[in-house]
Chain A
Amino acid sequence: SQTIHQWPATLVQPVGSPLSLECTVEGTSNPNLYWYRQAAGRGLQLLFYSVGIGQISSEVPQNLSASRPQDRQFILSSKKLLLSDSGFYLCAWETVNTEAFFGQGTRLTVV
């Protein structure tokens, strides 16, 4: 069966520090991968998606970047965090004609 791993679960980082969040998927090949963010009291916003290795599409301009170095690995990064980067970050995957499944999320607090 397919599983998605996302870590860390929680993270507290100072303003200006770098960020790296990782997501891996098991049990499937060539998934579409997504990074979403949920700010406090708001709905999920799509940040990035990837349909293959090295293929990244950005949905909104921001202080973040994404990379997909392997088929089932998706990384979210920042060189310098802002207070506004705080939120609940969710990785999701799907394959052709399946719904999207979410990882357990990373709660990031920038202080």
Chain B
Amino acid sequence: QKEVEQNSGPLSVPEGAIASLNCTYSDRGSQSFFWYRQYSGKSPELIMFIYSNGDKEDGRFTAQLNKASQYVSLLIRDSQPSDSATYLCAASAGGTSYGKLTFGQGTILTVHP
């Protein structure tokens, strides 16, 4: 059974700090990995995706992928109270379809002023 595991948290960081969110996956056939942010009562919105080993940066966000260790992470620099949300890690078998996703249970992040 394909599984994606996340530390459910909650993770609490002060404003301006770096928040580090981690995710592991069991299916070595997974090709692409996604980080979604979900505010309470809202639908998920995509933050970043990564499919190559290494780091990928987009503004304050950096995604890291290590396929050998089956490990994905998301770093949020200069965390803001508006970053407080649940962060969902998801894996896709890839190909040309990125919508068939296996999600982790999510990590609750709280950024306090």
Contact = CB atoms under 8 A, between A and B. Distances in A.
A92 interface: yes
A94 B96 CA distance: 10
Contact of A43 (B42, B49, B100, B105): B105
Most central of B6, B34, B106 by chain A CB within 10 Å: B106
A94 B97 contact: yes
A43 B99 contact: no
> Majority SS of interface residues in chain A?
strand
A87 interface: no
B101 A46 contact: yes
Contact of A99 (B46, B103, B106): B46
Interface residues of B, number: 23
A95 to B, nearest CB: 9
Contacts, number: 56
Interface residues on A, range: 20 to 34
B98 interface: yes
B98 to A, nearest CB: 5
B88 interface: yes
B43 interface: yes
B5 to A, nearest CB: 10
Interface string B28-45: 000000100000011111
Nearest to B36: A102
Most central of A32, A45, A100 by chain B CB within 10 Å: A100
A34 B96 contact: no
